[in-house]
């Protein structure tokens, strides 16, 4: 009986962990960590252990809350799509009511933790939750192909939260790091949407590849990729980052452009999936380059 209970408790914990969509928020939390450490290295500002706890804990809770609440809102859509029908809510492993309560509890935790960092972190957390849960998921996802653009502001919030948790000096650096994530989201999401176009179409979600032709979709994806890669070079001209960042951004950007060109010329499922899969290592590499370059740069 004890073994059965342990298995049941363990399975339930796993279900609640899964409902937060950790594969999504892992990278967002990493951008928070990367932006904070970059600011610390650039301006020689040590980060207190408690600040780290509040920062990583708050952003993790906030990101998990957003994904849980969007999962609650999208539960009918998720049930129609092959990719998402086995998630905890549509599969019945977690009831919608319990998911809603869990998401709201995580929301409260994230707001309290960021409040104890500073008012800027708190405001950005509140904005990110509002944008992701209400603007994107509740209001736009089922109505407009611009959903991922207007809802993408929340994706940049964690990086900016990490930066302002350390300093507001040279805030343009934090804004560019957040902007990079914002510009990364369309390529990341639309390449996935192109790969699973039938799923989105079946669920009635007006993602770009559903409402536009394949030819138009790949052109727009290529265009957003060019914008992202060009924008990624901008930090080098702030005189805060050197050749470590520039070479990394250039090399990974070249691969990103090559993959997008491949998708443009041969818009196959394999090409769209490859673009999607490379976007996460691309963003990860840039934030690692931010940290490494800032570490070796003499503090101002």
Q: Is 150 exposed, middle or buried (0-12, 13-18, 19+ CB in 10 A)?
A: middle
DSSP conformation class of 87: S
Task: Please tell me the CATH code under which domain 2-296 is placed.
Answer: 1.10.357.140
Which is nearest to 290 in space by CA: 30, 19, 11? Answer: 30
Contact (CB, 8 A) for 245 and 287: no
Q: Which residues contact 99 (CB under 8 A, 6 or more apart)?
A: 19, 68, 71, 72, 75, 88, 89
Say what the pLDDT of residue 44 is: 94
From CA 65, how far away is CA 21, in angstroms rounded? 10
Say what the pLDDT of residue 299 is: 53
Say what the pLDDT of residue 298 is: 67
DSSP conformation class of 240: S
Q: Is 199 exposed, middle or buried (0-12, 13-18, 19+ CB in 10 A)?
A: buried
Q: Is 118 exposed, middle or buried (0-12, 13-18, 19+ CB in 10 A)?
A: middle
CA 101, chain centre distance (Å): 23
Q: Which residues contact 234 (CB under 8 A, 6 or more apart)?
A: 176
Give me the residues of the chain with pLDDT under 70, please.
1-7, 298-300
For 145-190, how does the pLDDT look when each residue is reduced to its tens digit (9 = 90+)?
889 998 899 999 999 999 999 999 999 999 999 999 999 999 999 9
Q: Where are the domains of the chain?
A: 2-296
* Sequential DSSP letters for 110-162: HHHHHHTT-HHHHHHHHHHHIIIIIIIIIIITTT-TTHHHHTTHHHHHHHHHH
Phi-psi region of 81 (alpha: psi -120 to 50; beta: other; left: phi over 0): beta
* Phi then psi dihedrals of residue 53, to 5 deg: -60, -50
Say what the pLDDT of residue 1 is: 47
Which is nearest to 274 in space by CA: 285, 286, 261? Answer: 261
State the pTM of this model: 0.94
Token code pair at residue 61: 């809770």
Say what the pLDDT of residue 76 is: 95
Q: Which residues contact 61 (CB under 8 A, 6 or more apart)?
A: 106, 107, 109, 110, 113
From CA 59, how far away is CA 68, in angstroms rounded? 14
Q: Which residues contact 47 (CB under 8 A, 6 or more apart)?
A: 36, 37, 40, 55, 165, 166
DSSP conformation class of 212: S
Say what the pLDDT of residue 287 is: 98
């Amino acid at each position: 009986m004890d073994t059965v209970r342990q298995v049941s408790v363990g399975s339930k914990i796993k279900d609640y962990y899964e409902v937060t969509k950790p594969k999504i928020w892992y990278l967002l939390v990493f951008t928070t960590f990367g932006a904070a450490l970059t600011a610390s290295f650039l301006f020689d500002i040590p980060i207190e252990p408690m600040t780290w706890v509040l920062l990583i804990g708050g952003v993790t809770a906030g990101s998990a809350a957003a994904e849980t609440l969007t999962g609650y809102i999208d539960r009918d859509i998720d049930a129609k799509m092959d990719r998402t029908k086995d998630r905890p809510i549509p599969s019945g492993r977690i009831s919608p009511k319990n998911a809603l309560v869990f998401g709201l509890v995580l929301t409260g935790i994230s707001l309290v933790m960021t409040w104890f960092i500073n008012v800027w972190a708190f405001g950005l957390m509140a904005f990110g939750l509002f944008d992701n849960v209400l603007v994107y998921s509740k209001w736009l996802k089922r109505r407009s192909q611009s959903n991922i653009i207007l809802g993408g502001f929340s994706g940049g919030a964690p990086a900016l939260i990490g930066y302002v948790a350390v300093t507001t000096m040279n805030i343009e650096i934090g804004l560019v790091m957040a902007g990079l994530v914002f510009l990364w989201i369309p390529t990341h999401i639309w390449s996935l949407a192109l790969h699973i176009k039938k799923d989105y179409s079946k669920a009635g979600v007006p993602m770009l590849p559903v409402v536009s032709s394949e030819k138009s979709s790949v052109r727009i994806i290529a265009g957003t990729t060019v914008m992202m890669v060009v924008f990624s070079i901008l930090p080098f001209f702030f005189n805060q980052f050197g050749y470590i960042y520039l070479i990394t951004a250039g090399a990974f950007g070249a691969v990103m452009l090559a993959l997008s060109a491949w998708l443009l010329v041969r818009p196959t499922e394999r090409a769209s999936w490859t673009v999607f899969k490379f976007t996460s290592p691309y963003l990860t590499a840039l934030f690692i380059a931010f940290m490494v370059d800032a570490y070796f740069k003499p503090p101002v």
